[in-house]
Structure 1
Amino acid sequence: MNEQYQAKDTDQSKRVDKLLADIIEDASRSQVQGWLKENLVLVNDEVVKSNYKIQEGDTVTWTIPEPKPLELKAENIELDVVYEDRDVIVVNKPSGMVVHPAAGHENGTLVNALLYHCNDLSGINGVERPGIVHRIDKDTSGLLMVAKNDRAHESLVAQLMEKSVERKYIAVVHGSIAHEYGTIDAPIGRDTKDRQRMAVVDEGRDAVTHFRVLEHFPEFTLVECTLETGRTHQIRVHMRYINHPLAGDPKYGPRKTLDLNGQALHAKSLGFEHPATGKWLKFEVEPPEDFTEMIQYLKNRS
């Protein structure tokens, strides 16, 4: 099936391979370059090279080929394991790591690392996503829980459905938020104007994010967000919805932002009931060094 995108003024002079890597979820730039070589990408119905510079009004059309079956490989990638027993693993995922393999990201994912670390992961999510109960975005760092058997998987998913899992994030957003506390209750679904993005839409799935302001900076605010639901890109979409998009967010934020490799978002706290013992477990991890350096930079500007 063909997908289409109408270039905006903000896309002017951007390379076509970079443009598509930005707007197609889970697509890498090298993957897009492969599509261009196979003539699967057209601009104004003409074949172009990867370095073609987009002009406002260009119509970019592409066809994503059928994915090839993935052969998962265990890879000796260092894992920051926060907790582990026979039922669950809690890991601190670094920014830049994809959670599970997909087209364009067959290797170097959290799943590849988990398969090397242990071979007893639940199979409920299929061959390509063993043990994965929930996800966080590639460029989001922080805590993630993984199921080591099917019983644990079912319990953790049930807790997510019941909204009893505690998930807190910290984020830096654009602008000064006037209210110290707030709740964003707005349904999220595919953006009707751009199928590569999510948006607040009437026919979307219910989504609730609670936030509180931690600190104000010139032009930016540090907030803590608590998820009641777990929709794709939920915090990123909700903060954009209230006109406070995340700093560094290439998909939902402004072009003029902090110089970051992706959105300023860190999953700092995770709490859930142990699937076997029923004991409440809660974990917290500090944000990575580049995140704390960014906060210090904003403080110094103040």
Structure 2
Amino acid sequence: MPFITKKLFSPVRQMALSFLMNELGLSRSEGQRLIARGRLSQNGSVMDDQFGFIEGDCEFICFEPDTRGFKPMFVANDFVIYDKPSGLSVHPHSRQSPYTLNDEIKHQFGDEANATHRIDQETSGLVLVSRHKKSESVLKRLFSERAITKRYLAMVKGCVEHPIDIQEPLYRKDHPNLLISMVVKVDPKGKPAHTVINPLRYFPEHDMTLVEASPLTGRTHQIRVHLFHVKHPIIGDPVYGPTEENVIRFIKKELSPIERMEIGGSTRLLLHAHSLEFEYENEVYKVESEKDFVKECFEAMGISQ
């Protein structure tokens, strides 16, 4: 597990921040951030005051990357791009989270490297990663200014004959069950959201269509909710389409692959972040996934092409 507890010892009374900077080689800002997150404790009590003092035995919770040798598909001086498989989270959700893409990012490119955006654990495809703080700031600004063009591929139910321009506001559902409150829906109270759908290929024998989805805004679950709204849900979506009971079972990780296949027609969400296009330091980059998404769809659906 990436998060481990280190036993440390301060031989003299000293400021907690100075101790961590000297003991672990942390920068001042990194030490302040980790203390504020409650990573340092003594005698069972969390030390969350950077100006506090520490002496004697103490414990520090730190992140130690657990590499499995997963390499990026594209490497530049200031950033890299990974082609993430479905099922792998970008960041750990808690200190108990198992292996994530963040393990490889930190292991291969150091503590300053960071994913500049997120895609869902269930979604496969391209993740843009900065190699240092300067490029992180630039790339995140490009995302916030919508200067990075993202295109996704999705296999959806039914026949999509013509392009669809979807402009429906999205709202996080208010529900007494906290798990269900993660679900997003089309609602006038929501934030503006805009997705353009273009059909690429119809498979009449399975009544499904491969589409390209271009999100012009960046709302949570935007493509998934918009496609569900226009009656072309993504095959294998465990949240938008199944019953509330099965949504809860999925979120609790209680659904087996066989059950997922029976409920949604696939063992995974058939959504793939296929390409990224942006300008960085006067150079235009257009990177496309090398994965055969159609082949992966058929495999996940348990059918032969």
Query: TM-score band, normalised by the shorter chain?
Result: 0.5 to 0.7
Q: Which residue, out of 182, 188, 213, partners 1:196?
A: 182
| Cα distance in structure 2, aligned partners of 1:215 and 1:141 | 20
Aligned to 2:50: none
Aligned to 1:209: 195
Local SS of the residue matching 2:182: strand
TM-score by length of 2: 0.66
Mapped pair 1:75 → 2:63: no
Letter in 2 for 1:287: K
Structure 2 contact 237–264 (Cα < 8 Å) conserved: no
The 1:296–1:237 alpha-carbon spacing in structure 2 relative to 1, beyond 3 Å, is closer
| Cα distance in structure 2, aligned partners of 1:168 and 1:105 | 32
Q: What's the CA shift for 1:297?
A: 7.4
| Cα distance in structure 2, aligned partners of 1:134 and 1:188 | 19
1:103-252 alignment, distance < 5 Å: 103=94, 106-122=97-113, 131-178=114-161, 180-193=162-175, 194-218=180-204, 219-252=207-240
Structure 1 contact 141–288 (Cα < 8 Å) conserved: no
The 1:162–1:99 alpha-carbon spacing in structure 2 relative to 1, beyond 3 Å, is same
Q: Which residue, out of 66, 89, 98, partners 2:89?
A: 98
Letter in 1 for 2:123: T
Structure 1 contact 217–298 (Cα < 8 Å) conserved: no
Letter in 2 for 1:154: S
| Cα distance in structure 2, aligned partners of 1:132 and 1:248 | 26
| Cα distance in structure 1, aligned partners of 2:184 and 2:167 | 15
The 1:296–1:140 alpha-carbon spacing in structure 2 relative to 1, beyond 3 Å, is closer
The 1:297–1:213 alpha-carbon spacing in structure 2 relative to 1, beyond 3 Å, is farther
| Cα distance in structure 1, aligned partners of 2:189 and 2:134 | 33
The 1:264–1:68 alpha-carbon spacing in structure 2 relative to 1, beyond 3 Å, is farther
Structure 1 contact 99–109 (Cα < 8 Å) conserved: yes
The CA deviation string for residues 238-282 of structure 1, in whole angstroms up to 9 with x for no partner, is: 1111111110011113476654222101111111222xx221111
Structure 2 contact 242–264 (Cα < 8 Å) conserved: no
Letter in 1 for 2:269: Q
Gaps in structure 1 of 5+ consecutive residues: 1-66, 123-130
Q: Which residue, out of 262, 267, 288, partners 2:268?
A: 262
The 1:117–1:288 alpha-carbon spacing in structure 2 relative to 1, beyond 3 Å, is farther
Q: What's the CA shift for 1:161?
A: 1.9
Q: What's the CA shift for 1:227?
A: 1.6
1:20-99 alignment, distance < 5 Å: 71-99=62-90
The 1:203–1:154 alpha-carbon spacing in structure 2 relative to 1, beyond 3 Å, is farther
Gaps in structure 2 of 5+ consecutive residues: 1-36, 40-60, 244-261
Q: CA RMSD in A?
A: 2.6
Structure 1 contact 212–223 (Cα < 8 Å) conserved: yes
| Cα distance in structure 1, aligned partners of 2:167 and 2:142 | 20
Structure 1 contact 191–200 (Cα < 8 Å) conserved: no
Structure 1 contact 190–197 (Cα < 8 Å) conserved: yes
| Cα distance in structure 2, aligned partners of 1:149 and 1:204 | 35
- Number of aligned pairs? 223
The CA deviation string for residues 78-132 of structure 1, in whole angstroms up to 9 with x for no partner, is: 223122233111111111100001127623101011111111525xxxxxxxx12
TM-score by length of 1: 0.67
The CA deviation string for residues 42-100 of structure 1, in whole angstroms up to 9 with x for no partner, is: xxxxxxxxxxxxxxxxxxxxxxxxx9866322111222312223311111111110000
Letter in 1 for 2:278: F
Structure 2 contact 268–300 (Cα < 8 Å) conserved: no
The 1:271–1:72 alpha-carbon spacing in structure 2 relative to 1, beyond 3 Å, is same
90-99 vs 257-266, greater mean Cα deviation: 257-266
Local SS of the residue matching 1:81: coil
Q: What's the CA shift for 1:212?
A: 0.4
Aligned to 2:284: 280
Letter in 2 for 1:188: L
